[in-house]
């Protein structure tokens, strides 16, 4: 948490609101229980076991939106996509294309920094079976809305997986950016220019279920973020 004082006040307020959230009893009980039982490999570690706030560059032009913290990943480390298979797949790609200063994320104190990118999720607590309920997704919507409002330079949103895509669609409906979501379909590699000028890219989630089966490989994932840089006007 020591880097949080580098955030502008509006993002710091959003961060504090996320960390202290207790809106979903099922998720809070599950996360705390995981943090007490722990996985054998992490028995000597103190789990974060709280809702996980977004992470990255406050001046980001690209928002990377995932599903939820991993039970033994972000729920343990307190930072999105940190310390689990999804992050071990994603951060090397972000490093390769220039969004991250190093190719791995293992803890909040590992020196990882993002440039031009912010990572968040539609649900901030690890859900059992990676399946939040519709009400739990709605309960978390305000957290995402506050972060998006604070990230005033966002030009591209990359949604990782259909749940993240649908969560962002709900945000666009709620804020009046779109009138209906039937015009937007989740397909890997899909690109939509939204009425407010923001570009939406869709990608399969970098979960082990997708990467271990070859449904998503590094080349496919890299192309998504190369395109994100182009659409955001990032030439450096």
Q: In this predicted model, what pLDDT tens digit does every residue of 113-143 receive, in sequence order?
A: 999 999 999 999 999 999 999 999 999 999 9
Burial of 214: CB neighbours in 10 Å, binned 0-12, 13-18, 19+: exposed
Give pLDDT, residue 2: 39
176-185 residue pLDDT tens: 999 999 999 9
CA–CA dist 34, 38 (Å, integer)? 5
CATH number at residue 65: 3.40.470.10
Beta strands across the sheet bearing 55-56: 55-56, 117-121, 62-66, 156-160, 199-203, 191-193
Q: What is the extent of the structural domain holding 118? A: 2-232
Average pLDDT score over the chain: 96
Taking residues 198-220, report their average pLDDT: 98
pLDDT computed for residue 1 by the predictor: 35
Q: pLDDT band for 3, please (50, 70, 90 cuts).
A: very low
Rounded to an integer, the average pLDDT of 152-161 is 98
Q: What is the pLDDT of residue 64?
A: 98
User: Tens digit of pLDDT for each residue in 19-56?
Assistant: 999 999 999 999 999 999 999 999 999 999 999 999 99
DSSP 177: S
Structural domain count of the chain: 1
| 66 pLDDT tier (thresholds 50, 70, 90) | very high
The pLDDT of residue 4 is above 50: no
Q: What was the pLDDT predicted at 5?
A: 42
Query: How many whole angstroms separate alpha carbon 184 and alpha carbon 171?
Result: 13
State the pLDDT at residue 236: 60
Structure token digits, residue 127 = 């859900």
- Confidence grade of residue 235 (pLDDT, cut at 50, 70, 90): confident
In the chain, DSSP assigns E strands to 55-56, 62-66, 117-121, 156-160, 191-193, 199-203
| φ, ψ for residue 105, nearest 5 deg | -135, 115
């Amino acid at each position: 948490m020591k880097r949080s004082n580098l955030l502008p006040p509006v993002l710091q307020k959003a961060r504090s609101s996320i960390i202290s959230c207790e809106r979903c009893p099922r998720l809070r009980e599950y996360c705390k229980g995981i943090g007490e039982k722990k996985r054998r490999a992490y028995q000597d570690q103190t789990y974060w076991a709280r809702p996980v706030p977004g992470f990255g560059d406050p001046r980001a032009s690209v928002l990377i939106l995932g599903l939820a913290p991993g039970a033994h990943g972000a729920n343990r480390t307190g930072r999105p996509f940190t310390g689990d298979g999804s992050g071990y797949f994603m951060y090397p790609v972000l490093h390769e294309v220039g969004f991250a200063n190093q190719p791995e994320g293992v803890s909040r104190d590992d020196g990882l920094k993002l440039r031009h990118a912010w990572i968040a999720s539609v649900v901030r607590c690890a859900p059992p079976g990676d399946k939040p309920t519709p009400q739990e997704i709605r309960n978390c919507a305000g957290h995402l809305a506050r972060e998006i409002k604070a990230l005033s330079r966002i030009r591209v949103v990359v949604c990782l997986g259909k749940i993240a895509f649908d969560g962002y669609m709900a945000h666009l409906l709620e804020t009046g950016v779109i009138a209906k979501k039937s015009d937007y379909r989740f397909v890997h590699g899909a690109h939509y220019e939204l009425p407010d000028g923001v570009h939406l890219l869709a990608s399969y989630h970098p979960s082990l279920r997708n990467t271990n089966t070859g449904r998503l490989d590094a080349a496919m994932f890299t192309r998504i973020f190369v395109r994100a840089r182009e659409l955001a006007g990032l030439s450096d």
